Amino acid sequence: MALVTGIATTLVSFTAVQLMLRGADLPAAGVGDPGVLAALAGGPLYLMLVGVTLLVPGLPGAIGDRFAWYWPITAGQAAYTVVPIEDMLAPRAGLAVLAAATAGIAIAGHTALRVRDV
């Protein structure tokens, strides 16, 4: 279902943006332009993976329980926990996990921008 939604979202978004660009007399991309088909294929895959990633802490059983504590969002929540929860990361450790994930995402985004877009 996530893939179908991703395909629909990507195609509708691409078409709407290209129509707006053309309407404003700005350069617009066509499906046959270099890299466009790859981007149109990558968009739904990206959206599907993000959707699946958001579900990971909801895995059942011990796997989900253990993994959830180290999930960056859950780990970061330890920073404002007043009453300690059993097996939860300590506040500083939770912030460290969240900070490391944030730094990793920022570095990956910066690298992609510099390599691909500049």
Interval 82-92: pLDDT, tens: 677 787 888 88
Boundaries of domain holding 24: 1-58
Same domain, 68 and 52: no
Phi-psi region of 35 (alpha: psi -120 to 50; beta: other; left: phi over 0): left
Same domain, 28 and 82: no
Please tell me the distance from the alpha carbon of residue 75 to that of residue 58, in angstroms, as a whole number. 14
Same domain, 73 and 117: yes
pLDDT 10s per residue in the chain (118 long)? 778 888 999 899 999 999 999 999 999 999 998 888 888 888 888 778 777 766 666 677 777 777 777 888 778 888 877 677 787 888 888 889 889 988 998 898 899 888 987 6
Based on the structure, what is the number of domains in the chain? 2
Answer whether 0.75 is exceeded by the pTM. no
Residue 76 has a CB neighbour count (10 Å cut-off) of 19
Q: What is the pLDDT of residue 57?
A: 65
Same domain, 75 and 53: no
Q: What is the pLDDT of residue 56?
A: 65
Q: What is the pLDDT of residue 38?
A: 86
**Last-in-domain residue among 12, 32, 58:** 58
Please tell me the distance from the alpha carbon of residue 12 to that of residue 104, in angstroms, as a whole number. 31
Q: What is the pLDDT of residue 46?
A: 79
